[in-house]
Amino acid sequence: MLERYTQYLYRRIFVEKSTWGWTAEVDGQAVGLLILSLETHPYEIPELYAYGELMYVKKAYRGMGISRQLATLGQEWAVVNKIGRIKMIARPSNENYNDMLKTFGTQEIGAFYEWINQAL
């Protein structure tokens, strides 16, 4: 499964150039990651938007604002590139993650949290 996902990300990043990622480092060690992919679904959201493939921070580094820094980088990237929204999927059972997403100015829409680019 991980190999297929790695191949998928490789294709999206290097071939299609439709996926971007940011890492957070502490003392030269990667401790967090945000991956966003450009998507469009003409029947759901007609404009191009970014889909949150992954946001992860190692447990030992949670609660230090690293997720907020990664989210800010993603939001700044969306503003510069005129991306209308970022959608992050969230499982209802992952309350900590859901609560964190709410602090980033997102709106809960079903199983997704959306950040809307107010600059557009």
pTM for the whole structure = 0.81
Residue-number span of the structural domain to which 93 is assigned:
20-116
Q: Compute the distance between CA of residue 91 and CA of residue 100 in angstroms, rounded to an integer.
A: 13
Flag whether 65 is in a domain.
yes
Tally of domains in the chain: 1
Residue 3 located in a structural domain: no
For the CA atoms of 33, 70, 94, 38, the dihedral, rounded to the nearest 10 degrees, stands at -80
Domain CATH for 27: 3.40.630.30
| Average pLDDT by stretches of 10, the chain with 120 residues | 74 81 93 90 73 92 94 91 88 85 86 83
pLDDT of 98 reads: 85
pLDDT of 90: 83
- Residue (of 84, 77, 76) closest to 118 by Cα position: 84
103 domain residue, yes or no:
yes
In a domain, 96, yes or no: yes
In a domain, 111, yes or no: yes
